[in-house]
Amino acid sequence: MARLHHKVAIITGAASGIGRGTALLFAEQGAKLVLVDRDAAGLESIHSELVAQAAAVVISCGDVSLAETISNVVSLAIETYGQIDIVFNNAGIMPTGDLQSYPETSWDSVMDVNVKAMFLMCKLVIPHMIRQGRGSIINTSSVMATLTEPGYEAYSASKAAVIGLTKGIAVSYAEQGVRCNCICPGWVDTPMNQKVAEDAGGLEKLYPIIKAQQPLGRMATTREVGYAVLFLASDESSAVTGSALYVDGAASAAI
């Protein structure tokens, strides 16, 4: 039997990267999907692909850092399916730069998209999950919550905050059946990292860096990361809450 049969899942940042890969995997496993992104064209693309596979899916285009967007998404899920079993808070941005000249607006944007959006989503979905007596929330943090490089202060700070938020929710709502975990990916083959490769002068220039930082010697695929999310979303992880699952090819274990 499909691992997410009869379960309803909201996925943010679903138009590309880890969100898209996870949406495809969740659909294969029987989930009913509510997909969210601010990239309208990318969202329509994944929607069309899933509809062609006879998946149950609805989409909502918007900025997840806005309370109105989150309210619309939660309402859409309840109106369409009558329940919310899984939330994958995955949307994120990664602008970099020297802290001395880093714009305050950029700092605020990183915190709004990477952290506040998760707070807003959890605030609205947890009451539904409590009424159901169950629910699984998975947040995307990063290996860069604890390991970082020059110029990533805002991103690293936001991803560290995600771990703190995850643990706080897990402790607060464990007895009410709501689980909350996060994943901490390392190098993953996503459009965000493809842009990093372009800025570095091409993928061949980036691979020595990846090999040095990630003992696996390659980027993870979005499907590989999706399987980690699938485990945390499924009943197989019913005793797992408050955890940060590293999907980083041993980057966090290396010297």
* Burial (Cβ within 10 Å: 0-12, 13-18, ≥19) of residue 238: exposed
* Lowest-pLDDT range of 112-116, 173-177, 189-193: 189-193
Residue type for 174, please?
A
- Residue 201 clears pLDDT 80, i.e. is over it: no
End-to-end CA distance of the chain: 42
pLDDT of the residue at 67: 98
pLDDT of the residue at 191: 79
CA-closest candidate to residue 243, choices 154, 175, 171: 171
Region 58-62: mean pLDDT is: 98
3-state secondary structure at position 1: coil
Region 48-65: mean pLDDT is: 97
C-alpha span between 54 and 27 (Å, rounded)? 9
pLDDT of the residue at 210: 87
C-alpha span between 121 and 243 (Å, rounded)? 19
User: What's the whole-number average pLDDT of the chain?
Assistant: 95
% residues pLDDT > 70 (the chain): 97
Q: Of the residues 155, 173, 207, 246, which is catalytic?
A: 155
Region 156-179: mean pLDDT is: 98
Bridge partners (DSSP) of residue 140 are 183
Region 201-208: mean pLDDT is: 77
Q: Where are the beta strands (DSSP E) in 160-239?
A: 178-185
Region 159-182: mean pLDDT is: 98
3-state secondary structure at position 135: strand
Q: Edge-to-edge strands of the sheet including 178-185?
A: 57-61, 32-37, 8-12, 86-89, 135-140, 178-185, 244-247
CB contact set of 143 (below 8 Å; sequence gap of 6+) = 184, 185, 186, 246, 248, 251, 252
pLDDT of the residue at 71: 98
Residue type for 138, please?
I
% residues pLDDT > 90 (the chain): 89
pLDDT of the residue at 192: 77
Region 46-63: mean pLDDT is: 97
Over residues 136-160, the pLDDT tens digits come to 999 999 999 999 999 999 999 999 9
- For the chain, give the longest Cα–Cα distance: 54
Q: pLDDT band for 125, please (50, 70, 90 cuts).
A: very high
Region 180-206: mean pLDDT is: 82
3-state secondary structure at position 10: strand
CB contact set of 42 (below 8 Å; sequence gap of 6+) = 15, 16, 20
Residue matched to tokens 């019913």: 238
CB contact set of 188 (below 8 Å; sequence gap of 6+) = 17, 18, 219, 220, 221, 222, 225, 247
Is position 155 annotated as part of the catalytic site? yes
Region 101-110: mean pLDDT is: 97
Residue type for 8, please?
V
pLDDT of the residue at 239: 98
Q: pLDDT band for 207, please (50, 70, 90 cuts).
A: confident
- Residue 205 clears pLDDT 80, i.e. is over it: no
